[in-house]
Amino acid sequence: MIDIVPAILVKTRAELDLKVRVVEPFVDRIQIDVIDGRFAQNWTVQPEDLQGFETGLMKEAHLMVNDNEGYAKKFIELGFDMIIVHCESCKDIQKMIKTVKGRGRKMALAFNPQTPVSAVEAYLDDLDMVVAMTVNPGFTGQKFDASVMPKVRELRRMKKDLDIEVDGGMKVGTIKIAAEAGANIFVVGSSIYGFDDKKKAIESLKEDALSAIM
Q: What is the 3-state secondary structure (H, E, C) of 51-113?
A: CCCCCCCEEEEEEECCCHHHHHHHHHHCCCCEEEEECCCCCCHHHHHHHHHHCCCEEEEEECC
Catalytically annotated residues:
33, 167
Is 19 within 8 Å of 193 (Cβ atoms)? yes
Encoded amino acid at 140, one letter: T
Neighbouring C-beta atoms of residue 3, cutoff 10 Å: 16
The closest of 27, 35, 10 to 19, measured between CA atoms, is: 10
